[in-house]
Structure 1
């Protein structure tokens, strides 16, 4: 029987070095190709998911959201404008200050809405009353995300200029000013034209509010906005005097 060749220490080290090189090459391939591809795929998937769950078509999977969508299509923010531009539901009803806050609010809002839809047969919201809580559901960061140049914008309407100047002055004072504290303080019906009528027509449990119905077009009534701004500026002095 022929003697087996002896493996020298140098040969052993060479094999180990070769295996290490292969492993290192595999790690580099994973880091340079697989990981970026996985991140890109996850990002595109997230973007697609966010897009697919942001419009009225998705939101109206819940029966209770149908009148909101109907009123939205009638408004300028819903496409009733010369350019046909549409603000999606999440453009207004989610914060846009940063991505993390946006995604967190999207998740928590979705869970809250799912729960509300589940218990709807035994607990029906006061739809008309909730209109007065609009500031809790509409985010100024969303408004300013689209109207990014509003503070520098010029207009021939002095009432609009006064209202917007008062709003930004109040924002600069961190809420301690005398102007409106949110966009919907003045623009009560923005994004949903004639919403109260739509709610009354859709829900049996919503009482008729004929004396409170919102005339069509009030969504964009600048004189009404100026009036609300004036009332907002007057509140601090009224509180002080009382």
Structure 2
């Protein structure tokens, strides 16, 4: 084998390796760039509707100074489930492009369906995004008020998940929503 051929045989795997690193880094950068509050509120549909509501909740402003951003609640932290959620979110991009919720009236028309989809997703994954910050095991009987603490412990025993009781915690409930506990 000639000297130049040996060099090119070595350069090909190195080029693939370096190219893979660049691709992987760029891909991960892109995934994280779409998890920022600025990205999520970059379109008026979210800024004027969901974000405006969220700014009035405890997840935005609270005594501890910890703020949950959109992706903390709507995107899994684990890499595989995050990738699946990002693929699912392409439907939301399509909605943006087609004007599905581009006015307040359209947003309100579709609010119940959008909320139900999100509640079902959270129920199916045991409210994993909530549990990244909150867990039954970390709830303090001494620091939490008695009634919420009792309800949380009962929910844990009953196998309930956060979204079973906390619908509307970060966004307004749809006007069509009926609380199953009140029926």
TM-score (norm 2): 0.68
Confirm whether residue 191 of structure 1 aligns to residue 170 of structure 2.
yes
Structure 1 position 68, deviation (Å): 0.8
- Tell me, in whole angstroms, the C-alpha distance in 1 between the residues paired with 2:16 and 2:53: 45
Q: Give 1:67-106 correspondences, 5 Å limit.
A: 67-78=49-60, 80-96=61-77, 98-106=78-86
Aligned residues: 169
Aligned to 2:42: 61
- Tell me, in whole angstroms, the C-alpha distance in 2 between the residues paired with 1:27 and 1:84: 56
Gaps of 5+ in 2: none
Structure 1 position 130, deviation (Å): 4.1
Structure 1 position 135, deviation (Å): 1.0
Supply the RMSD in Å over aligned alpha carbons: 3.6
Aligned to 2:139: 153
Is the Cα contact below 8 Å between 1:151 and 1:165 reproduced in 2? no
- Tell me, in whole angstroms, the C-alpha distance in 1 between the residues paired with 2:44 and 2:10: 52
| Secondary structure of the corresponding residue to residue 77 of structure 1 | coil
Structure 1 position 83, deviation (Å): 4.5
Confirm whether residue 129 of structure 1 aligns to residue 112 of structure 2.
yes
Residues 150-209 of structure 1 deviation map (CA, whole Å, 9 limit, x = unaligned): 42432323333333334444xxxxxxxx443x31221222234xx36xx9xxxxxxxxx6
- CA separation of 1:35/1:69 partners in 2, compared to 1, >3 Å: closer, same or farther? same
Structure 1 position 44, deviation (Å): 2.2
Confirm whether residue 41 of structure 1 aligns to residue 22 of structure 2.
yes
- Tell me, in whole angstroms, the C-alpha distance in 2 between the residues paired with 1:135 and 1:50: 23
Is the Cα contact below 8 Å between 1:95 and 1:141 reproduced in 2? yes
Structure of greater relative contact order (alpha carbons < 8 Å, 6+ residues apart): 2
Q: Give 1:161-180 correspondences, 5 Å limit.
A: 161-169=149-157, 178-180=158-160
Aligned to 1:215: none
Larger Rg: 1
Aligned to 2:130: 143
Is the Cα contact below 8 Å between 2:59 and 2:68 reproduced in 1? yes
